[in-house]
A and B are shown apart, each in its own frame.
Chain A
């Protein structure tokens, strides 16, 4: 086990990095989800102008790599004089980026409801707000839950990119340790194992939700 000495010695440091990764992912996932649901609703119920604005947003955000956006904001912030802490800068970019993907997942969930559900709600005299709240959203959210969870896994993995623009989290921590110990193989395997336990736990939860959706049908 001598080869894995460096990993054992620095494991606590890597775990602190992992805590930062989780904090960053959570801070980005919450606004991304809210904004994503909002985008999905506006996409479906908004007017023509709103719809084309959202389509433009989706086209831009889904066609450009997250790393390009992160680096752009990294170089842009000093130029424009926006005095935002780097942590919130990257959290903002990641949440705007994932909101685009999340909105597509929720939109698919809402659109996959059979027309009869809408007709039934309307024929009961429900207003649009009530119909959304007690008929459409509960079913749509359940349908959208499994792909939403896999997007969250992808978001956790994407936080590793912020190490390229100099923020400290698990990937940055492992690079620091590698520079000190010159044991890249062991340390990166350790970092991968930590990422795996976070993401696999999420993925298992997603699979559990998927089974529930299938049973519900």
Chain B
């Protein structure tokens, strides 16, 4: 029977345990990708074999499904002798894929700054360091915040896929509870509400940051 209060009282704590894992996984992924994406974007910017490598990496991770990357890391690595836990495999695959996306976001942000801004700075006799820290980067930061917010929301939703390698986050707990109880509606409603809360909060934080940085536009 749907909306049984006793059932919901037991369900909510269980889902929140999963939500903790989801949040940990998403937050770690985002934190690592902010740095890793920058490394990839910088490598992609210099001329030479390094750029070729970074470009190949970006295309490779962006054009293959996360699920296949998860399986490759989780099953493939353990077969090759160095097995990782489900959580570690999930984190590695999530970072590998989203690092490619974040690198492209950084590149887009830098490219969107008009060449005149560089020329004007140089004409004023600014040193390279001053030009970048006071003129270019504030604009880049303001422009990458909206796409980075979207990427964070995508990461939160992507974490649901690690259920496929048995990490007990929201999705996996949802599956277990649906299969052991007959309360399909309650369980899915609970899971959907938690995901909606997480993605909405992320969206709101992004909006606030955007407003704070509006001066640089």
Contact = CB atoms under 8 A, between A and B. Distances in A.
A63 B178 CA distance: 21
A38 interface: no
B191 A68 contact: yes
A59 B184 CA distance: 22
A65 B76 contact: no
Contacts of A75: 178, 184, 188
Contacts of B195: 63-65, 68
- The bracket for how many chain A residues form the interface is 35 or more
A15 to B, nearest CB: 15
Interface stretch (A29-37, A82-90, A125-133, A183-191): A183-191
Contacts of B199: 62-64
Contacts of A191: 68
Contacts of A62: 153, 199
Given A171-B68, A178-B75, A192-B69, A68 B62 contact: no
Taking chain A's interface residues, is the majority helix, strand, or loop, or is none over half, making it mixed?
A: helix
A62 B203 CA distance: 11
A4 interface: no
A195 B171 contact: no
Residue with the greatest number of chain A CB neighbours at <10 A, chosen from B59, B71, B191, B200: B71
A160 B72 contact: no
Given A71-B174, A71-B175, A182-B79, A65 B64 contact: no
Contact of A195 (B64, B77, B164): B64
B23 to A, nearest CB: 14
B80 interface: yes
B71 A188 contact: yes
Interface string A179-207: 00011110011011001100110010000
A163 B71 CA distance: 12
A199 B64 contact: yes
A20 interface: no
A79 B67 CA distance: 28
A62 B174 CA distance: 19
A62 B171 CA distance: 16
A157 B66 contact: yes
Interface string B150-165: 0001001110110110
A188 B68 contact: yes
A30 to B, nearest CB: 21
B147 to A, nearest CB: 11
Nearest to B200: A63
Nearest to B198: A63
Given A60-B196, A75-B178, A195-B64, 7 more contacts: A59-B196, A62-B153, A65-B158, A65-B160, A68-B160, A160-B68, A203-B59
Interface of A: 59-60, 62-68, 71-72, 75-76, 79, 153, 157-158, 160-161, 163-164, 171, 174-175, 178, 182-185, 188-189, 191-192, 195-196, 199-200, 203
7 contacts: A64-B195, A65-B158, A65-B160, A68-B191, A79-B184, A184-B72, A199-B62
Interface of B: 59-60, 62-69, 71-72, 75-77, 79-80, 153, 156-158, 160-161, 163-164, 171, 174-175, 178, 184, 188, 191-192, 195-196, 199-200
